[in-house]
Copies of this chain bind each other. A is one copy, B any other.
Amino acid sequence: MFLGRVVGTLVSTQKEASLDGLKFLVVRRLTVDGDDTSGYVVAADAVGAGLHEVVMVATGSSARQTVYTDKRPCDAVIMAIVDTWEVDGQEKYRKK
Q: Which residues of A contact B (CB under 8 A)?
A: 1-3, 7-16, 18-19, 24, 26, 28, 31-32, 38, 40-43, 46-48, 56, 58-66, 69, 71-77, 79-88, 92
Q: When chains A and B are docked, how far (Å) is the Cα of A85 from the Cα of B9?
A: 6
6 tightest Cβ-Cβ pairs between the two chains A and B: A15-B80, A62-B75, A8-B87, A10-B85, A32-B40, A12-B80
Q: Which residues of B contact A75 (CB under 8 A)?
A: 1, 58-60, 62-63
State whether B84 touches A73 (Cβ < 8 A): no
CB distance from A57 to the nearest CB of B (A): 9
Residues of B within 8 A of A24 (CB): 1, 56, 80
